[in-house]
Chain A
Amino acid sequence: MQLEWRGHYLDGKSAQRRGAVVQLQASGLRITLDDGALLDWPYAEIKQTQGAYAGEQVRLERGGEFAEALLIQDSDFLATLHRVAPNRAERFHNPADRPARLRATIVAGVVSIVALIALYLYGVPALATAVTPFVPVAWEEKLGAMVMDQMVQPEKQCNDPVLRKTIDEIVAKLTATVPNSPYKFRVYLVNDPTVNALAAPGGYIVIFRGLLEATRRPEELAGVLAHELQHVLKRHSTKLILQHVSTGVLMSAFFGDVSGLASFGLEAAQTLALLRYSRGHESEADAAGLKMLNAAGIDGSGIISFFEILQAKSGGEPGFLKYVSSHPDTQDRIARLKSLADQTEQAAARPLRYDWANVKKICAARSTR
């Protein structure tokens, strides 16, 4: 058995390294430096700081903050140490444990990935659902205002008085059905060709010009508004942001990047447009929106016919885009809304009387001037 090993000794005072012969003894290491000096290191006083991985230099330290160090290139040294002094060697890495460590690493990896997926799919949404009801409305309003700051530039807003009045009247009709709501609703019209609408926490709703122009009658816009109002009332967007932020915080905690922690709130606000509600939330807002329309005396078929427009639009897109956008969701939602509309008794709906063909073009007309 080889008991003597060549290595290097560093005294912690100078950067000069000295050659050394290290002898493994029962109670400690005997180090003979090339200049003849003799050092005895009892095993109990030695700390191993490197050499736990294959191919890594073994580094042994002894002493306080600026310890002396002994460097040995060959990891057989450790295996021999465990044979020479098995009772005192538990403070040193044992290369014989490596296969077991590798197995443990693989298990840890698989468990981590499964745990992360479970956390993402179930844990975080459950947490967000539990916390959302306790978020004060004032906080929601702050959050919503932050989102609006990020997303709606003042110069891109349509503030035509006729359009403004039309939308405010429809919103007033709808919100009259929820007199006890704590929210003050604010609808923004953004001059952007996207066919989209979204709800931010605290009563903020954004309608894009593209969507306005895609509607054929005021009842269709009323349908979209009722749907978005329900997202606000049911705090879906608050929950979505909470979910996104807590995912970010967890990820940064697990992956060790804690510095970016504070920025997640702002980042979430910016990406609200990219976040998607779950199917459950969408159908909840659909159903409650339809009820709201009925209660407000607005023809609920508007929302259904608007979804049909959306479906027809996506049907016309070629190839890949068609695959992405013609997902079965829209079809399902139309079917569900139709059966809901059939089941409920429609109170006498009064048609909304606006010069719709002109109203819906106001935003575009004003922007070209």
Chain B
Amino acid sequence: MAMELLTESSGVLQSAESRRFAFHGVGGTLFGIQIVNLFLSIVTLGIFSFWGRVKVRKYMMSQTEFEGDRFAYHGNGQELLIGWLKALVFVGVPLLILTFLSAGALAYLAVLAFMPIAVVSARRYRLSRSSWRNIRFSFRGRVWDFALLSVKGWFLSAVTFGIAYPVWQNWRQSYLVSHSHFGNQKFDYDGRGSELIWNFLLHLLLTIPALGINWFWYWARLQRYYWNHTRFGAARFSSQVSGGGLFGLMFVNLLLLLVTLGLAWSWVQVRNARYYLEHLTLDGALDVAAIMQDAQTASATGEALSGFFDLDFDLG
């Protein structure tokens, strides 16, 4: 399928270039970072963990390579701490109170309402703090639009008894991708999602006889579908993630974690990033010189004013 798309999209272009992603991270180094983070978090009663998270993200992104250049993370611990405090005051505490007042149904409703807000603001924050070649990414979707889409999606899933769930998943992906920008250029998404329904139903039926293991294959199919329908300018992404590869990856991860009582977590993260990124390419012409920094990205935090709940914090 990837090949077919490649020839189709590259027909009008000069050449069918294929650009690979790579991950150079080392488990031992990540482990070192995380163990120092743990130490400093204990000493500071957890406050350092925000700065620690920044260190981990900086490392993971700086080890991700595309076209000979690394990605970079520009967040800092202070803004993560402030974002978390805001979220705690405006969302965490009210939710806890609702739960404790035995208003369980109300709490669930609040969480449901909170989900689209969280998805959009987390993505907005994360992309605005990520760069490649010093050009920032950005997310320009709006909470309200995404919330409406979510309600539509939940409704569709409910009335079809879950059968149309992949369609909603695809809407969601489409919204998130097509409102993402790199510099002044936009990502595009052209998946329709209806092709996924049969696959989804097949995997639902297989769940019991296959003990759920089949979902690795569905997840891989979903990833391939998402990426293969994602375009940037004239170029198109392509993922070669496979169910078998994913199953092998997770199986070894599980063994590593069991044998080391969880200490192998850093190595597991590195293995996951490597597998995911090294099965990803961008095919087709890419006019790098035409991509300019877009001043709009600077006001990412200012968007917090656009709505009371529109907090610029991060759940990742």
Q: Which residues of A contact B (CB under 8 A)?
A: 8, 10-17, 49-50, 53-57, 59, 65-69, 71, 102, 104-105, 108-109, 111-112, 115-116, 119, 142, 145-146, 250, 253-256, 258-259, 261-262, 265-266
Contacts and interface: CB of A to CB of B under 8 A. Distances in A.
A262 B39 contact: no
B293 A13 contact: yes
B62 A256 contact: no
30 contacts: A10-B134, A15-B132, A15-B183, A15-B289, A15-B292, A17-B133, A49-B72, A50-B70, A55-B24, A55-B26, A57-B70, A59-B62, A65-B298, A71-B69, A104-B36, A105-B35, A105-B36, A108-B38, A108-B39, A108-B40, A119-B42, A145-B102, A250-B46, A255-B38, A256-B52, A258-B84, A259-B315, A262-B92, A262-B96, A262-B99
Given A56-B63, A68-B134, 5 more contacts: A15-B133, A66-B293, A145-B102, A146-B102, A256-B53
A286 B41 CA distance: 40
A262 B41 CA distance: 19
B254 interface: no
B291 A14 contact: yes
Given A250-B46, A255-B38, A259-B315, A12 B293 contact: yes
Contacts of B288: 15-17
A254 B62 contact: no
A178 B94 CA distance: 38
Contact of B32 (A8, A49, A105, A259): A105
User: Nearest 3 pairs between A and B by C-beta?
Assistant: A253-B46, A108-B39, A15-B291
A53 B59 contact: yes
Interface of B: 24, 26, 29, 32-33, 35-42, 45-46, 49-50, 52-53, 56, 58-59, 62-63, 69-70, 72, 84, 92, 95-96, 99-100, 102, 132-136, 182-183, 288-289, 291-293, 298, 315
Given A13-B292, A56-B63, A66-B293, A254 B35 contact: no
A111 B39 contact: yes
Given A13-B293, A66-B293, A112 B39 contact: yes
A14 B135 contact: yes
B3 to A, nearest CB: 28
Given A12-B134, A66-B136, A102-B32, A258 B49 contact: yes
A15 B136 CA distance: 10
A21 B38 CA distance: 40
B83 to A, nearest CB: 10
Contacts, number: 116
A167 to B, nearest CB: 26
Select the residue from B45, B56, B96, B293 with max chain A CB neighbours within 10 A.
B293
Contacts of A11: 134
A256 B53 CA distance: 7
A253 B41 contact: yes
B71 to A, nearest CB: 10
B66 to A, nearest CB: 11
Contacts of B46: 250, 253-254
A201 B29 CA distance: 46
Given A56-B62, A112-B39, A253-B41, A17 B136 contact: no
A50 B54 CA distance: 12
Contacts of B135: 14-15
Contacts of A102: 32
Given A15-B289, A50-B70, A265-B99, A108 B35 contact: yes
Contacts of A57: 62, 70
Contact of B134 (A69, A109, A112, A146): A69
A115 B42 contact: yes
A50 B72 contact: yes
Contacts of A254: 38, 41-42, 46, 49
Q: Which of B32, B52, B92, B102 has the most CB of A within 10 A?
A: B32
Contact of B29 (A54, A261, A265): A54
A262 to B, nearest CB: 5
Contacts of A115: 42
Contacts of B35: 105, 108-109, 112
A79 to B, nearest CB: 19
